[in-house]
Chain A
Amino acid sequence: MALSIEMTQGDIHVTLTLSGDVDTKTAPELLSKLTALELHALEQLRIDLQGVEFVSSAGLRAIIFAKQKMPHSSSLYLVGPSDQIVETITKTGLAQAVVIVQSTEEI
């Protein structure tokens, strides 16, 4: 399934709203969007996964890339991932580096 990415800019945060699958074929699009952001100066990044059914290691690598480029004090929120995606994130140890919330109201 194709991936679509919508970007919105808030006062202190950027939100990427994803829809589709983040796999080997589509993850480069996410990486490209992330690379275009001023990650080193970003206080908060929200990646909305409510419309995402599948994330492979290629997608996780893009998320790790973003977190590595962001300041230590910054926050990376994953919004609304499915149970299966949360399980993959937890299994790979990425859960320690991100904040998982079910909706933006929790932020």
Chain B
Amino acid sequence: MNDQGIEAELGKIEAPASMDCWEEFMNFAGAQIESNVHDQSRAYKLRLAFEELISNIIRASAEFTSSNNLKPVTLKVATLKKSDSSHDYFIIRTEDDGPMFDPKFGERESVDTDQPVHERQIGGLGLFLIQQSVDLVSYKWLNGKNTYELSTLDHPNPQ
């Protein structure tokens, strides 16, 4: 995406990265997606990508804080509209102050979908589904925080 585009924040929420706040994060994202992504299939996939991302962040944060006796990681979720010269995007951006984790989205090997299920490892599907479910996904370590962006092309409501 062109970083020179116009960006507007639509909403945000901040809470501990904990399963206790799961509904809070999911309800916020669900309402924002429903209001701003009109294509049903894209809305479902964005929800799926967000669910997988939040799940990973909360799990990593819980492991980190419990093993180091630290205060809970804070997770901020914001939604944005961004327009560049050719596209409009709806974006969910997360920032967390947990340990740095770069999933290297651009370099990840795809899940071997031909592998027989009896030989499958239980795991590894979440990051794969994030990549597969949105138009753009990015990671940056910014101001001491993991910063992820899930972007989906925004199509006007055909009705």
Contact of A60 among B26, B118, B125 (CB under 8 A): B125
How far does the alpha carbon of A94 sit from the alpha carbon of B55 in the complex, in Å?
A: 21
- What are 18 A-B pairs with beta-carbon distances under 8 A? A24-B19, A24-B51, A25-B23, A54-B47, A54-B48, A57-B125, A57-B126, A60-B125, A64-B117, A68-B117, A68-B118, A84-B40, A84-B41, A87-B41, A88-B48, A91-B129, A92-B125, A96-B117
Measured CB to CB, the nearest residue on chain B to A93 is B113
Q: How large is the interface on B (under 10, 10 to 19, 20 to 34, 35 or more residues)?
A: 20 to 34
B-to-A contact residues, CB < 8 Å: 19, 22-23, 26, 40-41, 44-45, 47-48, 51-52, 54-55, 58, 111-118, 120, 122-123, 125-126, 128-129, 132
B115 partner residues in chain A, CB cutoff 8 A: 93
B22 touches A25 (CB 8 A): yes
Q: Is A56 an interface residue (CB 8 A)?
A: yes
A61 touches B19 (CB 8 A): no
A56 partner residues in chain B, CB cutoff 8 A: 48, 51-52, 55, 126, 129
- Most-contacted residue by chain A among B40, B44, B125 (CB, 10 A): B125
Residues 52-75 of A contacting B (Cβ, < 8 Å): 54, 56-58, 60-61, 64-65, 67-68, 72
Q: Is A43 an interface residue (CB 8 A)?
A: no
Measured CB to CB, the nearest residue on chain B to A25 is B22
- State the total of A-B contacts with C-beta under 8 angstroms: 70
Measured CB to CB, the nearest residue on chain A to B127 is A57
Q: A56-B52, A61-B125, A64-B117 are in contact. Are A91 and B22 (CB under 8 A)?
A: no
Measured CB to CB, the nearest residue on chain B to A60 is B125
B128 touches A54 (CB 8 A): no
Contact of A93 among B44, B55, B112, B123 (CB under 8 A): B112
- Most-contacted residue by chain B among A56, A68, A84 (CB, 10 A): A56
How far does the alpha carbon of A84 sit from the alpha carbon of B44 in the complex, in Å?
A: 7
A97 touches B117 (CB 8 A): yes
B129 touches A61 (CB 8 A): no
B22 touches A24 (CB 8 A): yes
A57 touches B52 (CB 8 A): yes
Residues 89-107 of A contacting B (Cβ, < 8 Å): 91-94, 96-97
Residues 30-48 of A contacting B (Cβ, < 8 Å): none
Q: Is A29 an interface residue (CB 8 A)?
A: no
